[in-house]
Amino acid sequence: MTAISENVASHRIADALRADILGGQLAPGERIRQEDLAERFGASRIPVREAIRMLDADGLVTVVSNSGAWVSRLSLDECVEAYAIRERLEPLLLRSSLPNLGPAALDRLAELADEMQGNTDVDVFMRLDREFHLLSYSGATPSGYLWQIIHRLWNTTQHYRREYASLVGVGLQVTHMEHHLLVDCLRRGDADDAERVLVTHIRRTRLELERHPDIFALDAGAR
């Protein structure tokens, strides 16, 4: 296999594993075996190792030296800390993104807010919610340090957002109201209001997660 074909294979494997992890098919703490991936994708160990390395950099996989790789998992305290960081950093990223959000992006954000409000499926909600928030940050420099930190935090907390959504349901009117308020703030170019809405939006999820420590016990024995 040439270097180019190995690179293509590693990205193909990484994309498939990323979809499995973000979609909930692979649970936090679940072991990822190189030999299983090599067989599944008909690839050698080299692109498999590179795919795992990419997912490790994304925060989706945790690699333990001389031991193996597992789907990343968080304790309650770690998740609460991640959300506390998000509460402070995401408003900064949103403020940086706002001047560069054009009409097409703003229209799409409004469409996503409407679609989420009319949806009752957790998997669909998770996909739309992720697209909504990451699109709202898309005006910022994607290679910037702040974007990279937040993208990694979104990846590592994905499973727990999914469990939260399953517990409380995806029809919470306050959640949909906050999405629509964010769109309104962004359309008006009001970064201060947008930051306030976003902080409240993130904090409310953090507080709800703290009320459900059982979510973090679901995968406690996975390793």
Question: What residues form DSSP beta bridges with 62?
Answer: 70
CB 28 within 8 A of CB 222: yes
- Prediction pTM value: 0.88
Instruction: Give the CA distances from residue 207 to residues 84, 200, 211, in Å, rounded to whole numbers and listed in that order.
Output: 10, 10, 7
Q: What is the pLDDT of residues 178-203, one digit of tens each?
A: 999 999 999 999 999 999 999 999 99
Which CATH architecture is the domain 76-217 placed in? Answer: Up-down Bundle (1.20)
Q: Where are the domains of the chain?
A: 3-71, 76-217
Q: Above 50 in pLDDT, residue 220?
A: no
- Which contiguous run of DSSP H or E holds residue 69? strand 68-71
Q: Locate 146 and state its tokens.
A: 């702040």
Query: Are the folds of 3-71 and 76-217 the same?
Result: no
DSSP reduced 3-state for 26: coil
**Burial of 16 from C-beta contacts in 10 A (0-12 / 13-18 / 19+):** middle
Q: Above 80 in pLDDT, residue 211?
A: yes
Q: Locate 60 and state its tokens.
A: 């989706």
CATH number of this structure's domain 3-71: 1.10.10.10
- Helix 45-57 and helix 34-41: axis angle, to 10°? 110
